[in-house]
Copies of this chain bind each other. A is one copy, B any other.
Amino acid sequence: VARIYGDPPPALNRRAVFVFCADHGVAQQGVSAYPAAVTGQMCRVLATGRAGINTIARVMGARVIAIDIGVDADASFASSACAQSGYTGHCFYERRVRRGTRDLSVEPALLAGEVEAAIQVGHEEAVRHIAELDIVGIGELGIGNTTAAAALTAALLGVDVIRVVGRGTGIDGAGLERKRQVIRRALGRVPGHAPPLDVLAEVGGLEIAGLVGVILATAGAQKAVVLDGFVATAAALVAVTLQPAVRGYLIASHRSPEPGHRVQLRALGLRPLFDLRMRLGEGTGAALAFPTIDAAGSLLREMATFADAGIAAADAT
């Protein structure tokens, strides 16, 4: 905290979680325990402020800024006005780049231009809010997105699929094997050491690209980005590969039970603050971490040192 904000750091009271929402063509391959329609249904819940992240953010004194960057639904979830009250409350913006990605198991998920557009949306939304925020959490919502995140992680880190594929929303054993096969097939199209934006186009997702934009903009504003779980940390891998200096602005909140999250965190050199076996996503882990991060900085700002209090160790008296 001191490295990012200076010593002593300011209070980090103005908190928000960006939740990027999008669909994935690969969901049609049966890689999730839930049908793709659940993304839109959960967006409706987010828009009414009754999702898990809304609840946790209220307790943590954080605002929820949700963005539909590519949900495959006829309905719009945008709120005409943001239901804000001080630094809690929620907004839902519609910034669709396209309705879901293509099925990454058979073709590139996104065109290069779509990747750029999605990163731009994330960058713009972060820049639009960052002046009135002290700290930013990032989360996501999208059926099928642990498949994209696993493929991205395997490709960017050059690790085997088996180490980064987990049960996501809770798929069964047969589904897990299907998920691995789908990812192996997709990775066949990705050469080793491919540039990160190429990998994002081949096997990524719109919400992941949007989060890359949020990370770049927030780090650019010299404020901390609090990562949520496996999907958000996949975005961090892309951002750090693009701009290594971003690494210094990342804080890992919790460790997800997804096996690939441990691999990502190790690669980024981050130690998560807690492990509560949470696997909800939506930025819930990031929101939980805000008070702890703020408290760390507050110790440098407010706590009396032993020198202040005139206290010396036994062997010095």
Is A75 part of the binding interface, using a Cβ–Cβ cutoff of 8 Å? Answer: no
A249 to B296, CA, bound (A): 28
A160 to B143, CA, bound (A): 52
Is A291 part of the binding interface, using a Cβ–Cβ cutoff of 8 Å? Answer: yes
Say yes or no: B52 contacts A314, CB within 8 Å: no
Chain B hits for A291, CB < 8 A: 59-60, 288, 291
Minimum CB–CB distance for A190 against chain B, Å = 28
Chain B hits for A95, CB < 8 A: none
Say yes or no: B34 contacts A299, CB within 8 Å: no
Contact code string A66-105 (vs B, CB < 8 Å = 1, else 0): 0000000000000000000000000000000000000000
Say yes or no: B292 contacts A45, CB within 8 Å: no
Say yes or no: A273 contacts B273, CB within 8 Å: no
Say yes or no: B314 contacts A32, CB within 8 Å: yes
Contact code string A291-317 (vs B, CB < 8 Å = 1, else 0): 110110011011110001111011101
Is A35 part of the binding interface, using a Cβ–Cβ cutoff of 8 Å? Answer: yes
Say yes or no: A60 contacts B295, CB within 8 Å: yes
A78 to B235, CA, bound (A): 52
Say yes or no: A295 contacts B44, CB within 8 Å: no
Chain B hits for A299, CB < 8 A: 52, 55-56
Say yes or no: B298 contacts A35, CB within 8 Å: no
Is A163 part of the binding interface, using a Cβ–Cβ cutoff of 8 Å? Answer: no
Taking a contact as CB atoms closer than 8 A, the residue among B295, B301, B314 that contacts A33 in the complex is: B314
Using a CB–CB cutoff of 8 Å, the interface residues on chain A facing chain B are: 30, 32-35, 38, 41-42, 44-45, 48, 50-52, 54-56, 58-60, 273-276, 288, 291-292, 294-295, 298-299, 301-304, 308-311, 313-315, 317
